[in-house]
Each structure stands twice: as structure tokens, then as C-alpha cells.
Amino acid sequence: MATVNKKVLEQLRRTIRDYDFQYYVLDDPTVPDAEYDRLMRELLKIEATDASLVSSDSPSQRVAGQALGAFQQIKHERPMLSLGNVFNEEELDAFDERLRKRLGVDKALAYVGEPKLDGLAVSVLYENGQLIRAATRGDGQTGEDITENVRTIRSIPLCLQGDHFPRRLEVRGEVFISKAGFKQLNQQARAAGEKEFVNPRNAAAGSLRQLDPSITATRPLEVFFYALGIVSEDFIPQQHFSVLRYLQSWGLRVNPLIEELNGAAECYRYFQKMADKRERLDYEIDGIVYKINSIELQEELGYVARAPRWATAHKFPAEEELTQVREIEFQVGRTGAITPVARLQPVFVGGVTVSNATLHNMDEVRRKDVRAGDTVIVRRAGDVIPEVVKVILARRPDNSQSVQLPEVCPECASPLQQLEGLAVIRCSGGFTCPAQRKGALKHYASRKAMDIEGLGDKLIDQLVEQNLVSELDDLYRLQWQEIAELERMAEKSARNLVAAISKSRETQCARFIYALGIREVGEATALALAEHFQQELAALMQADLQQLLLIDDVGPVGAKNVVDYFALEKNKTVVLRLTKDIGIDWPQSETLMNPNEASLAGCTYVITGTLTAMSREEAAERLRMQGAKVSASVSAKTTGLIAGEKAGSKLQKAEKLGLPILSEADLLQLLN
């Protein structure tokens, strides 16, 4: 057995205690959950080597946190324990196997799966149906009396429903703030010039611990109850799932996504289902909790020092991680926007390895004070671009220097411009800037624009770097011989590319408008413009702001950008060269049919998520061919939302508006 350095062990415990204090007492965590979990696992691993190393004050022996001195303290009649963790399917299987071995059974165990909310645990006590006391978890043994604050939360009943509830009933739950509520709260803070909350968990904790209940009452707090604490003898439950149904019948809010599960395999499938649903939920969850369903088996399995043996939390891949900023560079986008980017020591977060994180703009860099050499918390949720959440100032190098904006474009040395009232700083070089030229060409050739097969990013980089393409129309003058000389190209691939470029001359008006890369003109706006001007590009080029603002799906920013784009002579020249000299053209009635045959005339649909039978673009085209309008945004005027896999915020908005939700099968039936 290896000798344990007791100084190192005590330092580890001290570090965990500090993080506990910051998280539970100050509501200001300085490290992501993944870092805390790693340290706790390391501590448990060390203590498991020798029982004599375990001290009564070790963080492994109690739930983290302590009562705030500003509140009266309440001793829990039954401790509010924490949970052990599993982080993958193998650890889940090992947890299940341990339970079956301890119980001496070979058959699958019955579990209950519950989304693990990222909020603040509370205990609420009812006597004779009346709410008499509420407390935070605190250190698990003693919490803070927050009764008056809890009484302001509308989703917590002041008296229970019905007349068959236990005489004395303590329920435990999680108080949280929804994503929408969090957004609203920070908007109000910005308007009042106050400090914004970092995340919904901090917002919930801070709101629940206000000394003035009238302030708590203004915060959008919600709750889901998930367990019993103490309960009088007139209520003897048999299953955890039935307990939850009882809670619902008494007017206590229970998460509707909770499910009964049979065995570890079903638990893991439930975990995957919730992971897919996670981004669409209107509240934050950071994993799944599995509990043995049988209360009798729960009692037989019992507890370890800080957690029940019969339950565990299955954490999602960490959305936040610690890493170091190696350097900060400035990228130039296709519209000339100068974006500071943090080059990171690669770190696995949100299911992928991240080595870059956006810093958005210089205002953001100054606000967060990010510097090269800093240790930072990086966040990546779903498909969101990784971003730096917070700098750990205690780990900042002594020789660090603040970031300075370059005086000229880092790609072409052109002067930088910043329009009044906007945070974005742009290179003034336009298409003469190699970075903007590359970005514009990549956008032009992309699948949703001109769809030029074989013209990938690396090939475009070479075409620009070797000065083979200076304007968009130069693409159509390329010879296969000069393409064949580029890296990883040969005669056959060069000839195929020239043919693909030539083929793109036959397109659609909306695709061409989108391909031009006008700022704030996406697919839906381009389609609206094409349909409004009946595929006549000349009419669009001459339109003024008032005309454009009358078009649905064209906002004031997009309309102004269209006017500004065609006001520049060089842009009009390029467009005319592409359409007149190169011969790019499209049918003049590409989406029109006989109105009498338009079965979906007058209908407006929105498509979201991933379709399997066809692409979203193909679905939109087929809907338009039957007379329907396809919009990019959900509104009360929307006929229906077509929701594929991984549908997001549009689905939530459509459900709130009570709009019909169509599956892909419904879409196919509609089209047929």
C-alpha cells in the first residue's frame, strides 16, 4: 500500500471546503462542477485505501455547505444527504451490480429515473396540510429558515389539496429559475444598471436567500418536489414512484419527465433520451438521478456516510471545464467583423475536445478581462460555440498583460471601422482582404447558397492565396489546368470542379440572393425578397427602405443592409457581371403554380429540427410548390410547426402559442 502524504490530503480537503463555501454559502462558485467532482473522487479514492485516514470533518463525511448567519438555523429531523455520482455506462452498470449483489438478486432492479435539476435543495414541512416551515439543505444536518421566502413561490402550496395527506409531512425539492425567467431577470438587472447573474442556479440561490421576502417575491422562482423527509406514521408508502403520485394529488409540483425503469439498460436509455431533450427544456439539468423504486429495498440497502446506497446521479458530460488561455488572436470574418478568439489548452467539454473559444468582441474582452496565460472556465452547451465564462483571477500569472485591439486589420492592414452604437469592429478592406474574400467564397459555394460540389474550404484558401480568384465571377473563369496544379488536385478532380462551377449557373433567385452574403440576409429573408419581387433581381436592386419594410420576414436591420449593399457601385458591378457576363439565371416562376391547384394556399409553415426523408430545404420547396409560405419564425399567424428530431426553441414557442405540431410523418401526409 502506497504511503499517503497527510499534508497533501489535508490540503485537498481544505480546497474542497473552500469550493463548498464559495458554492453553497457565497453562491459564487470559482470552478466548474467537473473540477469539483474530480477532487471529491480523488479524496474518496485516497480515503478508501486506509480507514484511519477518514476524519469526522472530512468533506467526504458530510454534505457540503453551511447555514448563513443572517438566517435562523433549523436542524433537520432527518438529514438531507447528497448523492454519489456515475459518469458513464460502465459506472452505471457497476452501481447496479453492487446493489444486486448486496440484495442477493439476479433479476433486474426497478428504478425511478428523474432529471437532476441545477437549483437549490429545500425542505418544506406541512402539518395538518398547512405550510409551517421551510429550510435550505445547508450542511445536510442544519439549514437556514427560509419559510417567509418560500411562501412567496407560487408553485409551492400554502396548504395541501384534498384531505388524505399525512398529519405531518416533510417534502424535499429543488427550487430553480427557468431559462426564460433567467433571461428576464438579467434584462431587468441590465436596465437597472445592476450586476447580472452568472447562471440560473446562482440566480435561484441568491433569490431564495434574500433577507427581504418582498424581493424574493419579484423573482421567477419555481420548484419540483422529488422526495419525502419525515412523515407521520399514518402514511406508509411502498414505492418511490407512488410517493410522487401522492405528492401530485396533494398539489405539490412533480417533474412530468420522471419515469419508472427496469434495470440498468433502461436507465441508460432514459439518460440518452434526456440528454437529447436537454437543450429543449426550459430549465437547466445536469444529469439524471436513479433511485431504487421499492421503499423496502431502499431501507435494506441503507446509507453510507454522505449518501444513500440506493440512489446515484448520472452526470451529463461537463458543460464547463477549466483550461488555460495560450494566446488571444483576432480573426476576420466574411463580413469583415474582427473577432477576438482565445486559443486554449485543449480540454474535453460538452462531449467534444475544445481548443478555441470565442470572445465575441472587445467590449466582452474588457468586461471579462481575459488575458493570455489566464486559467478560465470554458462552457459549451449542445451545439453552442464554446465561450469563456469566467477568469480564475487567483491563478493569473504575475506578468499578464491586458489585450489590445490591433490598429489595423491583421490580414490585410486596412484601417478598422466601428459604427456608432455598435460593438462590432470591422476591416474596411472588403473583398481585397484575403480573409473576407475566403469567407465570402465559402459562403457563396455552400450547400444552401450556390451548392458548388467539390469547392471546399481548403481549396478556396489555396485559390485566394495563389491569387487565382479576386472576385466572385473569377470562379467561373477558372481553367482545369490551373486547378490541377493545386495541392491534392489532379486532372479528373479539376475537370469535375470546373463542371460543378459551371452547373451552378442554373440556380434559384433566393439562393443567389443568399449567396451574395448580405449581412443579416439569411435563407428565409432571401426567399421573402425573391418571392416579393417575383424573381426579378433588378427590382430588388432598385428597392428603397420603405418598400423592403413592407415584406414579411424582412426586418429593419436586414432591409437597411440590402439598401446599403446595392448602393455600392462595386457590389452592383459584381452582381451584373455574374448575371449578364457569366449567365447565372433562374426560372422566373420557380415557386408558382396555378392558384386553383395550390392545395396549401394561404397556409404558413415553419420547419425546425432534423428531417430524415428529405432535407429541410427540399421540404420547404415542396410546400411552396403547393402554394404554402415557409417562414423562418413562429408567430400567431403560423398554420403549423413541422418538428423534426432535436427541435429547439421554435417548438417551445409553438407549444406556448397552442399551434399545431406536425411530425415528419404528418409532413409527408400533407405533401401527398
Catalytic center residues: 116
Question: What span, in angstroms and rounded, lies between the C-alpha atoms of 647 and 166?
Answer: 42
Q: Which residues contact 620 (CB under 8 A, 6 or more apart)?
A: 527, 607, 630
Q: 548 forms bridges with which residues in the sheet?
A: none
Question: What span, in angstroms and rounded, lies between the C-alpha atoms of 424 and 466?
Answer: 30
Distances (CA, A) of 164 to 112, 132, 244, 247, 338: 24, 18, 15, 11, 65
Question: What span, in angstroms and rounded, lies between the C-alpha atoms of 42 and 11?
Answer: 12
Beta strand ranges found along 399-528 (DSSP E):
416-418, 425-427
HSE, CB side, 13 Å, CA atoms: give it for residue 80: 30
Task: Report strand pairing: 110-117 vs 259-262.
Answer: antiparallel
Q: Which of 220, 169, 217, 174 is nearest to 197 (CA)?
A: 220
Question: What span, in angstroms and rounded, lies between the C-alpha atoms of 309 and 139?
Answer: 19
HSE, CB side, 13 Å, CA atoms: give it for residue 19: 20
Dihedral sign, Cα of residue 528, residue 533, residue 537, residue 540: negative
HSE, CB side, 13 Å, CA atoms: give it for residue 373: 11
For helices 6-20 and 33-48, angle between their N-to-C axes, nearest 10 degrees: 140
Residue 369, Cβ neighbours under 10 Å: how many?
13
Question: What span, in angstroms and rounded, lies between the C-alpha atoms of 274 and 213?
Answer: 35
Question: Do residues 337 and 424 lie in contact, with contact meaning Cβ atoms separated by under 8 Å?
Answer: yes
CA 465 to chain centre: 36
What does residue 76 show for φ and ψ, rounded to 5 degrees?
Answer: -70, 130
Question: What span, in angstroms and rounded, lies between the C-alpha atoms of 619 and 613?
Answer: 9
Give the helix ranges, DSSP H, for 67-173: 89-103, 147-150
The number of residues making up the chain comes to: 672
HSE, CB side, 13 Å, CA atoms: give it for residue 441: 30
Dihedral sign, Cα of residue 103, residue 108, residue 111, residue 115: positive
Question: What span, in angstroms and rounded, lies between the C-alpha atoms of 181 and 282?
Answer: 9
Task: Report strand pairing: 375-379 vs 320-332.
Answer: antiparallel
Grid cell digits, residue 160: 395541501
Grid cell digits, residue 659: 399551434
Question: What span, in angstroms and rounded, lies between the C-alpha atoms of 589 and 576?
Answer: 21
Grid cell digits, residue 308: 444513500
Question: What span, in angstroms and rounded, lies between the C-alpha atoms of 244 and 58?
Answer: 34
Which strands sit side by side in the sheet containing 84-86, from one edge to the other?
Answer: 84-86, 311-315, 285-292, 110-117, 259-262
Three-state DSSP state, 549: helix
Burial of residue 506 (CB within 10 Å: 0-12, 13-18, 19+) is exposed
Amino acid at 671: L
Q: What is the DSSP letter of 612?
A: S
CA 44 to chain centre: 32
